[in-house]
Amino acid sequence: LSSADAVAAVLWVGVTFYAVFGGADFGSGFWALVAGRGERGRRVRALVDWAIGPVWEANHVWLIFMLVILWTAFPEAFSSVMSTLFIPLCLAALGIVLRGAGFAFHRVAARSSGRRVAEAAFAISSVLTPFFMGTVVGAVASGRVPIGNAQGDPVTSWLNPASLLLGALFVAAGAYLAAVFLVSDARRFGDSELVAYFTTRSLAAAVVAGALAVAGIFVLRDDARFIYDGLTSEGLPLVLISLVCGLGALVLLWRRAARGVRPLAVAAVVAVIWGWGAAQYPYLLPETLTVEDGAGASATLTAVLVVFGIAVVVVLPALALLFTLDQRSLLEEEAE
């Protein structure tokens, strides 16, 4: 294992955390969007607020982490991706601003009209942002990002079957994870109606995400052959693990099990992310730039690994503290 490989693995750890926790936060916004107006819609949005309020900002930092690792360790890939995919990345950044601002403002807005605008900004951008991120990943996976400054097609690089599929899959996977998490959150304060509400939606989202994944196999076979080949060879064990975990979560959801759904759902997503990584290896940009060739100076790679070591010692315990306090409902409104 070279140091470039090790840093690529670190990058993939960041991708995994962001996909699971950031993805679930985006998915919560999806459920806020489709919850409707009436009394139940209000309760769903209140649950989403309650669930992601203390953690979403920390979850968002994984995105910064990924960007920084990418440009520090793999500058060639970073500049190629950021220049060719200028349009979807601008739209994703726009979505991040609208989403954060919408979430921060909607509870403190002075008037109900302002509150509704902020809620809408949060909910709509929660769907658009992961969609555009998915198109970016699809562009990379399908080999549409050549090396260099804006050398790829500015439009068809991300408007193509593989990109659209991955955009949709990102939204569906986030919605699935969010629904599964929200079942537990609803259970934590005994709102059995919302437990049932999100159990139904977890099942629906699982079926949709699964269907998209199956459709994706055919799309990738035609449009991103290298990844398809990888997923059906090196990545196959992980794809199968994902399949088993996903089906297991489905069964537990169907049986209204109180435990085990969250770990299985997370495992299904994590397995597919690492299966993807295995399929794309050794390429950063499939078939044009390898991890080894795209890596920056070796002294910098070492430094990045040291920094990651510090992060493991400093950030992960802090993150564990935050999640523990949060799950024990110790982070709550003070009495007035």
Partner 1 sequence: VGLDVFPLAADLGAARSQMAFTLGFHIVLACIGVGFPAIILVANYLGLKRDDAVALELARRWSKVAAVTFVVGAITGTVLSFEMGLLWPEFMRRFGDVFGLPFALEGIFFFTEAIFIAIYIYGWKHLSPWAHFWTGVPVALAGLGGAWSVVAANAWMNQPDGFKLASDGTATDVNALDAFFNGAVAYEAPHMILAAYLVTGFLVASVYAVGMLRGRRDRHHRLGLLIPLTFAVIVTPIQFIVGDTAARSIAKDQPVKFAAMECVQETDTHVTEYIGGICTSDGVKGGIGIPGLDSWLVGFSTDTEVTGLDSVPPEDRPPANTLLHLAFDAMVGICTALIALGLWLGIAWWRRRDIPKTPWFLRATAVSGVAAIVALECGWIVTEVGRQPWIVYEVMRTEDAVTQADGVWVSLGAVIVLYTALGIATVLVLRAMTRRWREADDVDVPYGPRPAAPEPPQGPA
Residues 300-319 that bind partner 1 (CB under 8 A): 300, 303-304, 307, 310-311, 314-315, 318-319
Q: Give whichever of 60 and 221 is closer to partner 1, judged by the CB atom.
A: 60
Residues 151-210 that bind partner 1 (CB under 8 A): 153-154, 188-194
Q: Give whichever of 79 and 290 is closer to partner 1, judged by the CB atom.
A: 79
Residues 99-138 that bind partner 1 (CB under 8 A): 99-101, 103-105, 107-110, 114, 118
**Min CB(64)–partner 1 separation in Å:** 6
Size of site (CB under 8 A) for partner 1: 86
The number of beta carbons lying within 10 Å of the beta carbon of residue 62 is: 19
Binding mask 211-250 for partner 1 (x = CB under 8 A): ----------------------------------------
Strand, helix or coil for residue 225:
helix
Per the omega criterion (within 30 degrees of 0), is the bond before 130 cis?
no
Residues 139-158 that bind partner 1 (CB under 8 A): 149-150, 153-154
CA dist., res. 59 & res. 308, Å (int): 17
Q: What is the DSSP letter of 91?
A: H
Token pair recorded at residue 265: 């759902």
Q: Which of 34, 97, 204, 217 binds partner 1 (CB under 8 A)?
A: 97
Q: Give whichever of 251 and 316 is closer to partner 1, judged by the CB atom.
A: 316
Closest by Cα among 89, 230, 63, 95 to 80: 89
What single string gives the DSSP state of each residue in 16-48? Answer: HHIIIIIHHHHHHHHHHHTT-SSHHHHHHHHHH
> Is 19 a binder of partner 1 (CB under 8 A)?
no
Using alpha carbons, list the distances in angstroms from residue 251 to 12, 65, 241, 244, 270. Answer: 29, 35, 15, 11, 19
